[in-house]
Amino acid sequence: MFSFIIRRLAVAVPTILALITVSFVLMHAAPGGPFTNERNVPEAVMENIEAKYNLDKPLWQQYLIYVGNVAQGDLGPSFRYKDFTVNELIESSFPRSAYIGAWSFLFVVVFGVGLGVVAALKQNRWPDYTVMTAAMTGVVFPNFVMAPLLVLLFAVTLRWLPAGGWEGGQVEYIVLPIIAMATSYIAQVARITRSSMIETLRSPFIRTARAKGIPRHKIVLRHALKPALIPVVSYLGPAFVGIITGSVIIDQVFSTGGIGQHFVNGAINRDYSLILGVTILVGVLTIVFNAAVDILYTWLDPRVRY
Amino acid sequence: MFFSDKHAGMGELADTLAEDAYTEGRSLWRDARRRFMNHRAAVASLVVLALLLLFAAFGQYLSPWDNESIDWASLPNLDEDGLPSLASQHYFGLDPIGRDLYQRTVQGSRISLMVGVLGALTAVVIGTLYGAISGYVGGRTDAIMMRTLEVLSAFPFMFLVIVLMAVFGRNVLLIFVAIGAVSWLNMARIVRGQTLSLKRKEYIEAAMSVGVHPFLIVLRHIVPNVLGVVIVYATLLVPEMILFESFISFLGLGVSEPYTSWGALISEGADAMWTAPWTLIFPMLMLVLTLFCFNFLGDGLRDALDPKDR
Amino acid sequence: MTVNNVQTITSTANRMEEGSGRWLSRALLVCLAPLVFIACSGSDDNHAKGGDRALEAADIDAPETRLKAHPTTGEQLARRQVLVRGNASEPASLDPQLVQDSVGGAIVVDLFEGLTRSGPRGDTEPAMATSWASSNNNLTWTFQLREDGLWSDGSTVTAQDFVYGWRRAVDPEVGSNYAYYIESAGVANAGEIIAGDKAPDTLGVRAVDDFTFEVTLEEPITYLPDMTVHYTMFPAPRQAIEAHGEDWTRPGKMVSNGAYTLNAWHIGEKLVAARNPRYWGDDSTIIDRVVYLPIESSSAELQRYASGELHMTSTVPVSQMARLKKERPKELVMVPSMATYMYAFNVNRPPFDDVRVRRALTYAIDRNIIVSYITRGNQMPAFTLTPPYVSGFDFRQPEYATWSQTRRDEEAREALEEAGYTEDNPLEFELLYNTDESHKALAIVVSQMWKEKLGAKVTISNLEWKTFLSEKQAGNYGIARFGWKGDYNEASTFLTLLTSDSGNNDGGWSNETYDQLLLDARSSDDPNPYYVRAEEILWQAFPVVPVYFNTTVALVSPSLKGYPEKNPRTIVYSKDMYITAD
C-alpha cells in the first residue's frame, strides 16, 4: 500500500507537467487573446500590456517561466481580473464549490446507491419502476433547466428560499444548488448500482450463500454489496472531482461565487493563467481521487492487486 | 401418464417420442432474443424508438410549414397565435421569433438522435477496449494508459473545440470528433475497474494457462462480462451527448441556424419557460421519451446478453 | 408545512421495511427532515416586502437610516437604505484608469468622482469641478475644483490628483485600454506618450495650484467637459497606489473620493460599497450601502428580481419583454441609449464591394417588425450612424427613412437586379455574429427578411466572442454584427468610427471627403454642419447597415426612486436614488 502511494506520487509530477504542456499549447493555439478587445487598442498600448504579462516573449520562454512559477506555488496574475492573482481567485472560489459539492456528493452516494439497491432487490416490480423513474428525472432535466425551475418554484413562487447568493454558505443559500447539482448524478449512480447489483446477485457465490441459508439482508449488505460497488466507485471517482469543482450553470444561476464559472469564463476571456491554474487544480484532484479509487478497489475486491 | 387409450400402442408412442426428441438446435442468439422479448418494457421501447426514427425521417411531411420561415403574421400576438394548435397546423406552436416548433423539433431529432447514438457508440467501442486492455495488461501499460486518461480528463476541453474550429472551419463532422474525444473517458475507467476484478477469476486463469492470446482473452472473456455495465452506462450517455452538443453549439461548433437540435431547443425553451412553456415542453418530451426508451432497451439488452443467465 | 408532513415521511419510511431497506429509510428520513424544517421556517418570509427581502438577501448589516422622510419630497423612507443592483458580470478591475466597460464603470462612478458628472438627462453637471472655462480658442481648458473634496482617508483632493490620474491613463507601464480616450480628447502629447516616444509627465495637463486644473490641447475641442464625465479621466489616489501597488483596489486598501467606498468584494457573488462619510456631498446621499450582484444570466437576474432580492436589474431577457409589459408595466424602464446596433460590411469582399448590394440589404430590413416584435424594447429604427439624442446634434434622416417598407423593398430588388443578381443568380453570403441569444434572433430574422424579399441565400454563423473579435478585426468576414456605444455625449464618438485611420474600421471603407469633414469639424466652433454632411455621405455609401438605436431596458422596483429614466448615457449613480418604505 505504502509503495503504491509513493509510486503514484512520483508519477503525479510528470502527469501534471504533461497536462500543463498540452493545455498551454492548446490555449495559445486558439484565436484571439486576453486583450483582444472590441475597441481596437492602439499598438503601442497593446505592446505594453503584453509585455507586462510576458506575452511578448516566445512561447517556450513563457512556458518555462510559468512552470518555474508553478513549482514555487505561484499561479500568476489573472489576465482578465486585473486586481487579483490566480491563487487568490482559486482560494476564494474553490472552498465554496467544494462545500456545496461535498454535500451534493453525500446525497448522491446515499440516495444513488440506496435507490439503486432497492431497485435491484425489487427488479422489474413496481418499486423498481417507481424508483428508477424518479431517479430519471435528474437525468432528464439538465441542470440548466433544473436550476431555474427550482428557483422559480422555491424562490419566486413559494418564497421559501432565496434565489441566489452565498452569504457564507448558510443552509438556505446552499439547498437549491445542492439539489440542482445532485439530482443528475443520483440517477446515474442509481442506475449503475442497480445494474451492477442485479448482476452480482446472480453470481454463483451468492447462490451458495443463499443455499447456506444466510438471511437476505446479510447477503445483500455483507456479500453482494462490495463487489457490486466496483463500477459505482469507478464512476464516483471522476464524478466527485466534477462535483466539487462546481458547475458554471450552478454558479451563474445561484451566484455562489464558486469556481465553476472560471472554467468557462476563463476560456471565453482567454485568461491563460486562470485556465492553467484551474486545470492544474482539476488535474491534481483527478490524480488523487483516481488513486483513492484504485485503493478502494482492493478493499472491495481482495483479488485485485497491482 | 402416457398409458392412456389416446395413444395407440407403444410402437407409435416410441415414434412420437423420437420425433419430439429431435429438436432444433438452440443458438445463444435465440436465447438472448427470447430473453429480450420477455422484457416487455424493452420491447415497447424498441417500438417507440422505431416510431421516433420514423418521426425524425418523415415527420416533416405531416405539416405544411418548414423549419426556418418566420410566420410574420403571428408576431404581433405571439402569446395567442403561438400556442400549439391543430387548426393552424402548428402542432407544437411557435417559438419566440415565430418559427414552427414542430418542424424544428423534427429536424432537431435527426441531429440529436445521431449525436446521441454515435456519441454513445464511440464511447462504448473506444472506452471498453481502452479500459479492458489497460485493466487486463496491468503494470506499466496500465499506469501509462491511466495517466494519459487523467490528462485527457483534466485538460480544458473548450479550447480543443475552439482550436478544432479554427483549424478545420465549421464542419458538422467536427461535432463528432469533439464529442468522441471526451465521451469515452468515464467508460474506460468503469470498464477497467470491472476488468481488475474479473481478471482474477478462475476461467481467465484457465484461458491463460491454455495459452490463449491476451487480446483474445480480452475480447472473448472480459468484454462480454463487462457488457452489462457498459450497456447501462451507454444508455446514460445518450442524453448526455445530446445535451453536450448544445454546449458545443454555444462555442460556435455544431449545427448552425437554421438547423437545430433538441439541446438547442431545450436551452431556448428554458429561457422562455414562463411565457411560452410549450417551447420547452415539446423538445423535453422528446428527450424524456428517448431517454426512457434507451434505458429500458439497455435493461432488456443487459438481461438478454448477461452470460450468467445461460 | 406542518408537523403532519414530518409524520407522513416517518410512516412512509417505516413502511419501507424490507430488511435492507430499513437503514435506507432511516437515512432518507435524516436527510429529508432538515429540508422540512427549512421550508417551515422560510414560510414566514412570504409577506416580506420587496425592500426588506432584498436587504435580507443581501445580508448586509447596515445601520438604520437617519432620515425618516425624504427631505424634498416627503416620502417615507425605508428603514434601511441598502440598494441591491444587478450588474451583469464581474468587473475586470476597479481601477478607474483600467476600467474598460460599463460593468466596472457602474461601480467606479459610485466609488470615485471626476471633474464633471452626468445629469439626469445626459447633460453635463459640475462634480469635483465647480466651474470651467476655455480660452485660447478652445485649446486650453481650466477647471476650478471644489476645495472641500476629500479622499476617504481624509486628505484633500487636489488638482495634482487629476494630473496623476490622467498621466496614468496614458502611461504605457500602466497599460490602460482606454488610453486612446485621452488622445481623442486632443490632450497635448497624448499620442506620443502612448506610443512610448515621450514620458508621461509631458502630458498637456498641469496643476496651476491645488484647486486649479489646466488642460492643454493640440486641437480645439469644444466638448471637453462632456468627455470628463468618463471614468478614465477620474483622479487617482497616489498615496494608495504607491503604498499598495497592484493591490490598491482591495477593500481596506482602496482610497476613493466618491460617495461610497469599497467595503467587500467576493468574486462571482457580490460587491459591496459603503457610504463614504468624507464625501463632500454626503449630506444629500441617502443610500447607505450598495450591493452589486454580477449576475451574468439575464433570466437568473430576472428571477432574483421577481423573488424580491434586487431593486434594479441591468437588463431584461428579450423573451420576457412581452409578458413584463403586460404584468409589470410600471417597473419596466426603457431608456434610449447612445448606442447603435448594426451590421458592418467588409467592402473589400464581394459581393459587398458593390454599393448597390449594400443598398439593397440596407433597404430590405423591416426595422419596424424588429423593434416591435423581436426586441420589443421601444427601440428606434435606425437609418443613420449617430443616434438622435446625442447632445447638440442636428439629427436628420435620409429620404429613404420616410418611405414605406414596401417601397424600400421594391427599390432594394431593383438595386440588386442592377447589380446582376436574379433568381438564377441569387445573392449568396454568410452573416457572422457572436454567440448570444438576442444576436442570434436578430440574425435569423434579418436573414429571413433578405431571403424572402430578395431571394438571397444567407447562411448565418456564430462564433464565440474572442474568436469573433479576432476574425472581425482581421477582416475575415463579409458582413458581421457590429455595435457601438458612444464614449461621450457628442456626435464625433460615432462618426470617427468610420474614418480611414480609425482602429475600429476593419471593414475597409474609406472616403477622403468624409475624413476631411471630420477633421474640419474638430477645429470648428460649430461642428454640426460638418457632421450633417458626413452622415449624408454615409447615407449613400452604406458602409454599415444601421438597424436600431439601443435602449437600455431594466426592471426597477417601485420602491426605488430616482432612477434616471431619461439619461441616454445610461450612467446610474447610486447616490441619486433612494428607497421608499411601501
Q: What is the mean pLDDT of each run of 10 residues along chain A (306 residues)?
A: 86 92 91 84 81 88 92 92 92 93 95 90 83 78 85 90 87 92 89 89 85 83 87 93 89 89 89 94 93 91 82
Residue in B132, B109, B127 with CA at minimum distance from that of residue B54: B109
Q: pLDDT tens digits, residue range B209-233?
A: 888 888 888 888 888 888 888 988 8
CB contacts < 8 Å between B and C, how many?
68
Q: Give which of B237, B243, B251, B242 is closest to B164, Cα–Cα.
A: B251
Task: Please answer yes or no on whether C464 and B257 come within 8 Å at the CB atom.
Answer: no
Query: Which candidate from A140, A187, A279 shows the least CB-CB separation from B154?
Result: A279
d(CA C285, CA C278): 11
Question: By percentage, how much of chain C surpasses pLDDT 90?
Answer: 63
Type of residue at A209: A
Kindly list the residues from chain A whose CB atom is less than 8 angstroms away from the CB atom of residue B192: 234
CB C140 within 8 A of CB C216: yes
Return the pLDDT at A209: 86
On whether any CB of chain B is under 8 Å from the CB of A25, the answer is no
For C:268-297, CB contacts with B below 8 A are none
Q: Is C335 exposed, middle or buried (0-12, 13-18, 19+ CB in 10 A)?
A: buried
Which residue in chain C is spatially nearest to A39 when comparing CA positions?
C504
Q: How far apart are CA A225 and CA A219, in angstroms?
A: 8
Are A163 and C304 contacting, i.e. CB atoms less than 8 angstroms apart? yes
Mutate to test the interface with A, among B38, B148, B151 (most CBs of A within 10 A): B151
Residue A21's pLDDT is 93
Nearest to C368 by CA among C380, C386, C359, C356: C380
* B141/A contact by beta carbon, under 8 A: no
Distance from CA of A47 to the nearest CA of C (A): 9
Distance in Å, alpha carbon of C139 to nearest chain A alpha carbon: 24
Taking alpha carbons only, the member of C341, C406, C403, C408 closest to residue C377 is: C341
**Strand C82-86 to C205-209 pairing:** unpaired
User: Residue B252 and residue C461: Cβ atoms within 8 Å?
Assistant: yes
Assign 3-class secondary structure to A38-106: CCCCCHHHHHHHHHHCCCCCCHHHHHHHHHHHHHCCCCCECCCCCCCEHHHHHHHHHHHHHHHHHHHHH
Q: In chain B, where are the structural domains located?
A: 42-305
Q: Which residue of C has its CA nearest to B272?
A: C319
- B160 vs A contacts (CB less than 8 Å): 26
Give C563→chain A minimum CA distance, Å. 24
- Give the cell for residue A110: 446515499
Nearest to C435 among B69, B250, B272 (CB): B250
Residues paired with C263 in a beta bridge: none
Nearest to B155 among A23, A268, A293 (CB): A23
Kindly list the residues from chain C whose CB atom is less than 8 angstroms away from the CB atom of residue A135: none
The answer to whether A56 and A47 are in contact (CB under 8 A) is: yes
pLDDT score of C64: 78
Check CB contact under 8 Å for A202 and B288. no
Q: What pLDDT shows up at residue C4?
A: 39
Mean pLDDT for each 10-residue chunk of chain C (582 residues)? 39 38 42 40 37 57 78 86 92 93 94 95 92 91 95 94 95 87 92 90 94 93 92 95 92 94 91 94 92 91 91 91 90 93 94 93 94 92 93 90 94 92 89 90 94 92 88 92 90 91 88 92 86 94 95 94 90 93 78
B258 preceded by a cis bond (ω within 30 of 0): yes
Give A95's contacts (C-beta < 8 A, 6+ positions apart). none
Measured N-to-C along each axis, helices A260-269 and C465-473 cross at an angle, to the nearest 10 degrees, of 10
Question: In B, which residues are within 8 Å of A142 by CB distance?
Answer: 243, 266
Alpha carbons within 13 A on the beta-carbon side of B209: 7
C53-311+557-579 CATH fold? Dipeptide-binding Protein; domain 1 (3.90.76)
pLDDT the model gives residue C8: 39
What is residue C489's predicted lDDT score, i.e. its pLDDT? 87
Per-residue pLDDT tens for C141-185? 999 999 999 999 999 999 999 999 999 999 988 888 888 899 889
Long-range CB contact pairs, A281-284, < 8 A, 24+: A281/A90, A281/A94, A281/A245, A282/A241, A282/A245, A282/B153, A282/B154, A283/A15, A283/A16, A283/A19, A283/B150, A283/B151, A283/B154, A284/A12, A284/A16
- Residues in C closer than 8 angstroms to A92, CB to CB, are 266-267
Query: What pLDDT score was predicted for residue A66?
Result: 93
Name the residue of chain C whose CA is nearest to A106's CA.
Answer: C31
Domain B42-305: CATH superfamily, name plus number: MetI-like (1.10.3720.10)
pLDDT at B55 over 80: yes
Interchain CB contact of C375 with B (< 8 Å): no
Partner B contacted by C467 (CB < 8 A) = yes
Q: What is the mean pLDDT of residues B84-91?
A: 84
Percent helix, strand and coil across chain B, each rounded to 5? 75, 0, 20
Architecture of the domain spanning C337-552 = Roll (3.10)
Does B189 touch chain A if contact means CB atoms closer than 8 Å?
A: yes
Assess contact for A79 and A271: CB atoms under 8 A.
Answer: yes
Mutation target among A35, A36, A82 for the C interface, most CBs of C within 10 A: A82
Q: Specify the pLDDT at position B138.
A: 87
Q: Which of A154, A252, A272, A274 to mutate to test the interface with C (most CBs of C within 10 A)?
A: A252
Contact between C266 and A92 using a beta-carbon 8 Å cutoff? yes
CB C115 within 8 A of CB C128: yes
Ramachandran assignment for C62, one of left (phi > 0), alpha (psi -120 to 50 degrees), beta (any other)? beta
CB contact under 8 A, A140 and B288: yes
List CB contacts of C421: < 8 A, sequence separation 6 or more.
C351, C357, C427, C454, C455, C456
Strand partners, C86: C293
- 3-class SS string, C198-250: CCHHHCCEEEEECCEEEEEECCCCCCHHHHCCCHHHCCCCHHHHHHHHHHHHC
- Kindly list the residues from chain A whose CB atom is less than 8 angstroms away from the CB atom of residue C42: 159-161, 172
Task: Say how many Å lie between the first and final Cα of chain A, rounded.
Answer: 10
Residues of B in contact with C452 (CB under 8 A): 69
User: What 3-state class would DSSP assign to A283?
Assistant: helix
Check C95 against A269: CB less than 8 A apart. Answer: no
Mutation target vs A (from C26, C84, C292, C303; most A CBs, 10 A cutoff): C303
Q: Residue C246, CB half-sphere, CA atoms under 13 Å: how many? A: 11
Is some CB atom of chain A closer than 8 A to the CB atom of B291? Answer: yes
Q: Is B140 an 8 Å CB contact of chain A?
A: no
User: How distant is the Cα of C566 from the closest Cα of chain A, in angstroms?
Assistant: 26
Kindly determine whether residue A45 and residue C172, on different chains, have CB atoms separated by under 8 Å: yes
Between CA A133 and CA A187 the distance in angstroms is 9
Residue in A37, A162, A257 closest to C267 by CB: A257
Contact C455/B at CB under 8 A = no
- Of A175, A87, A61, A183, give the one whose Cα is nearest residue A134: A183
ω into residue C351 within 30 of 0, thus cis? Answer: yes
- Cβ of A215 within 8 Å of Cβ of C19? The answer is yes
DSSP A202: T
- Residue C16 C-alpha, separation from nearest chain A C-alpha, in angstroms: 10
Span B260-282, mean pLDDT?
86
Average confidence (pLDDT) over B170-185: 81
Instruction: Decide if C95 and A83 are in contact by the 8 Å CB cutoff.
Output: yes
Output the nine-digit C-alpha cell for B285. Answer: 418530451
- Residue in C322, C443, C448 closest to B275 by CB: C322
Residue C548 pairs with which residues in a beta bridge? C341, C381
CA distance C464 to chain B (A): 5
- Cell for C165? 490620474
Q: How far is A111 from chain B (nearest CA, A)?
A: 18
C440 interfaces chain B, CB cutoff of 8 Å: yes
**Would you say the C-alpha torsion C460, C465, C467, C472 has a positive or negative sign?**
positive
Nearest to C319 among B69, B72, B271 (CB): B271
Domain-by-domain residue ranges, chain C?
Answer: 53-311+557-579, 337-552
Q: Is the pLDDT of residue B26 over 80?
A: no
Report the alpha-carbon distance of residue A219 to residue A215 in Å, rounded.
6
Which grid cell sits at C63?
445601520
Cα C507 to Cα C545: distance, rounded to the nearest angstrom: 12
